[in-house]
């Protein structure tokens, strides 16, 4: 039976890590309120209240993820992964369709996105696989076939929704695990060559708007009122913040609605315009601390599964942070990657909080063996 409460575990509860998460969320919520002030999604402040409600639900989900011994997920890895894949299939068949996109189940007015908890299911199943199949001299090509399938199946289903950004995240998580566990040089060369050869096939199967997002990244001014508009307006917002920023709710790009998606994927643009370079440095430092702290929790884990699980969660935070900020400042294509604890989104925020719960769990139980 999994141990739920233990006095020694509670003595090792990492309150400082939880406070760090709350600080990042608080800054994001404050910025979201400004972004939503002129939004058409409801009266001023309603979007922030909805985000706060999602956070409350996420906090409730975080509690059992913290209290129940994390090693139970090693035993439940396959059922969890299977459930995630079935939900991705179900959303393609039964999900609500908006502008040709099927990504959500709508229940009592609430939109739930299966690809979000699927991220955590992928981390758990990959952690289990590499826990059970250690290799002293690096992983060979055949060792990586099953992990490739485990990441590839949900990635393909997500591409069919279509959602290129989340699919790339799944594949990025696979690559991060390969880097962490170590692969043989020959295997690495073959993998890179296979990816390069598959690139033309991947390109031909992208939707038209997905191709336009990538080409607009290279030359946004080629279509400044179309595919390049989002990147151009975001860069203007970030640059106009200068050193100290324009002040809370004083950002013209935000308040005059020049910046689309300002409460979701481009929430960081809003913050950058209002709080400038100093504010950006503060938030980047907080995210850097979050990721390094997550990795440190992994190094302190007393078993390989816990270490792999913490590493996977840290990579979830890292990849989403790097891609989101990269596309906001025009260094990466716009692929629809939200910023942890910052961007609006219920399923996304709940998954982030569940991930925090697992990290706290691993930290609490590092001496319980």
Chain segment 223-276, per-residue pLDDT in tens: 666 667 888 888 888 888 888 888 887 777 777 677 777 778 888 999 999 999
Of the listed ranges 81-95, 226-240, 284-298, 316-330, the least confidently predicted one is: 226-240
Residue 3 has pLDDT above 70, yes or no: no
Alpha-carbon distance 86 to 78, whole Å? Answer: 12
Those residues with Cβ within 8 angstroms of residue 145's Cβ, 6 or more apart along the chain or in another chain: none
Question: If pLDDT is split at 50, 70 and 90, which confidence band does 2 have?
Answer: very low
Q: Could you please report the per-residue DSSP string of 100-144?
A: TEEEEEEETTEEE-THHHHHHHHHHHHHHHHHHS--TT-B-TGGG
| SS3 label, residue 148 | helix
- Rounded to the nearest angstrom, the gap between the alpha carbon of residue 246 and the centroid of all alpha carbons in its chain is 29
* Percent of residues in the chain assigned helix, strand, coil, to nearest 5: 70, 5, 30
Q: Which two tokens stand for residue 64?
A: 């059992």
Interhelix angle for 346-364 vs 304-328, to 10°?
140
If you compute the radius of gyration of the chain from its CA atoms, what whole number of angstroms results?
21
How much is the mean pLDDT over the chain? 87
Q: Which two tokens stand for residue 264?
A: 């979701």
Phi, psi angles (nearest 5°) of residue 139: -90, 135
Contact indicator for 95, 102 with CB cutoff of 8 Å:
yes
Q: Name which of 293, 309, 313 is nearest 353 in CA terms.
A: 313
Q: Which two tokens stand for residue 101?
A: 């996109």
Count CA atoms closer than 13 A to 206's CA, side-chain side: 19
Those residues with Cβ within 8 angstroms of residue 294's Cβ, 6 or more apart along the chain or in another chain: 310, 313, 314, 317, 359
The reported pLDDT for the residue numbered 12 is 82
The reported pLDDT for the residue numbered 44 is 55
What is the arithmetic mean of pLDDT over 196-209?
74
Question: If pLDDT is split at 50, 70 and 90, which confidence band does 356 have?
Answer: very high
Of the listed ranges 144-158, 165-179, 184-198, 256-270, the least confidently predicted one is: 256-270
Give me the sign of the Cα torsion angle 276, 281, 284, 285. Answer: negative
Q: What is the dihedral of CA 327, 333, 334, 339, to 10 degrees?
A: -40
Question: If pLDDT is split at 50, 70 and 90, which confidence band does 221 have?
Answer: low
């Amino acid at each position: 039976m999994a141990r739920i409460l233990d006095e020694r575990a509670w003595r090792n509860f990492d309150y400082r890590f939880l406070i760090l998460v709350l600080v990042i969320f608080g800054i994001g919520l404050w910025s979201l309120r400004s972004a939503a002030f002129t939004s058409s999604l409801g009266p001023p402040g309603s979007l922030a209240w909805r985000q706060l409600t999602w956070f409350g639900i996420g906090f409730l989900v975080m509690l059992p993820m913290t209290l129940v011994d994390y090693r139970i997920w090693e035993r439940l890895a396959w059922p969890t992964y299977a459930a995630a894949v079935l939900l991705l299939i179900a959303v393609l068949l039964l999900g609500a369709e908006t502008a040709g996109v099927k990504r959500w189940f709508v229940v009592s007015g609430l939109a739930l996105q299966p690809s979000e908890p699927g991220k955590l299911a992928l981390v758990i199943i990959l952690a289990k696989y590499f826990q059970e199949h250690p290799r002293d001299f690096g992983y060979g090509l055949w060792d990586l076939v099953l992990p490739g399938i485990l990441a590839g199946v949900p990635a393909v289903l997500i591409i069919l929704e279509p959602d290129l950004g989340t699919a790339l995240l799944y594949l990025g998580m696979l690559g991060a695990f390969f880097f962490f566990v170590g692969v043989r040089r020959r295997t690495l060369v073959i993998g890179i060559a296979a990816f390069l050869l598959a690139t033309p096939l991947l390109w031909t199967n992208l939707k038209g708007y997905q191709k336009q997002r990538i080409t607009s990244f290279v030359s946004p001014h080629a279509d400044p009122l179309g595919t390049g508009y989002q990147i151009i307006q975001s860069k203007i917002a970030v640059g106009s913040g200068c050193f100290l920023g324009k002040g809370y709710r004083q950002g013209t790009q935000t308040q005059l609605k020049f910046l689309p998606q300002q409460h979701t994927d481009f929430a960081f643009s809003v913050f950058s315009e209002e709080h400038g370079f100093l504010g950006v440095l503060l938030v980047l430092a907080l995210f850097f601390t979050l990721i390094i702290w997550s990795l440190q929790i992994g190094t302190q884990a007393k078993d390989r599964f816990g270490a792999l699980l913490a590493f996977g969660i840290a990579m979830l935070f890292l990849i989403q942070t790097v891609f989101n900020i990269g596309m906001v400042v025009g260094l990466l294509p716009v692929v629809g990657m939200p910023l942890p604890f910052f961007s609006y989104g219920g399923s996304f925020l709940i998954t982030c909080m569940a991930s925090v719960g697992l990290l706290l769990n691993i930290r609490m139980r590092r001496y319980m063996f």
